[in-house]
Structure 1
Amino acid sequence: MINAAIAQESYILNYDNVEVKKITQDIASFAKKTIILDPRVKGRVTIFSNTALDQNQVWQVYLRTMQVNGFSSITEDGDIVRIIPENEATRDENIVLNDAEFLTKVFLLENRLVEEILPMLKPITGRQSHLSSIPSINSILLVDRKSNVNRIETLIKELDANDAAKISIIKLENLSSAEAVRILEKLKLQNYPSMNNFIAIPFTPSNSVILSA
């Protein structure tokens, strides 16, 4: 659903596991675009923004969401845009998104500049993810697997709340990242003074621990 403030031409995106066709219909209306969906473009996606977006920003969020989910946009005459599967010649005839596999979210920063936070996050996004800034509203646009979005959201909140906070990525060789984080959290619960002001998150793709302190 798009909650629209028509007078200001701004929109808040709120789609939880919604059919691509329905989202496309809404986006076409508010972005004033004619969108043609290839019959193979099917499935459900999730998009959230915690701040109002203007018409162009809504359109960019939609395009990035389609891209990360394996679809491309082709602009034709005027405002006609076709959404088709990437590498369509090598794909099956029935392309379906994995339900809720990817999540699109816009994070509004309140205390720090997006140019400062964005470089810290790039090393921990997935290969198929999209991470970019929306400078006009000091926000970060992230499209990634749901589990990774949740991890990064925790980090963004910590980084935004503490202007001295930084991210460190520690690659492990002899211990799993999940076990390392479990040990750190256990020490934290024991009220070690030097262990209280940090967030530790396992990053299993590279068996690393992401520390924010």
Structure 2
Amino acid sequence: MLTKFEETWKQFLESIEDNLNNFISLKYVGILLRHLAEKGQRKISRSLPRGCSERSPNLVVCKNENIWSQTLSLYLCDKSQPLPFHDEILTCSEDTSIEQVDIFLRRALFNSCGKIHTVINVDKMSLTLCEGIEQLLIKYQRDVHSDYRLVFICGSDSENRSALISSLDKYRGTVFLMEQIELCTCLLHKFQNTSQSDTISPAASVDFEK
């Protein structure tokens, strides 16, 4: 009986090995997907401005009317880098879900790729969401080993009404706020059309300043 069982078990293992030869593991699927995602993308290597730190959250409080200018100043301090990508900024509201913030934090802390990740309007989050984010930050900071760049920006008018801002106060930093004229000049330069083509006319060609 034992001999027959051993033979059956051996045949089972051999059949599994033969079947696995026709498949690829999830690990290599992940490597392939990451390679495809990085292929053709411009290399990003942003640096946080003075007053902010890598490998820790950063809280920036400014006037409500300056939130977007403050955000742009964060990215335009290094004029050699492009404008922020869609996956670098999360604009929050009362309807923002914990799942959205969770995905954003995972991207920021574990796969930053040299980017700066910014959460805007932190003061508009619900109390339940603030508590959930605080727990996620505590959990992820224990496991992260990358030089991530994470910034939370909120308006000063309601900073005292947010539980998350209170917990992040120890990470409070300052970011130089660029003047409106300088911001407009930088944006005009970034939006200039530098492509040359004899057959395709980009939409920007209708604006003679681009």
TM-score of the superposition, structure 1-length normalised?
0.19
- The structure with the greater share of residues assigned to strand is 1
TM-score of the superposition, structure 2-length normalised?
0.19
- The structure with the greater share of residues assigned to helix is 2
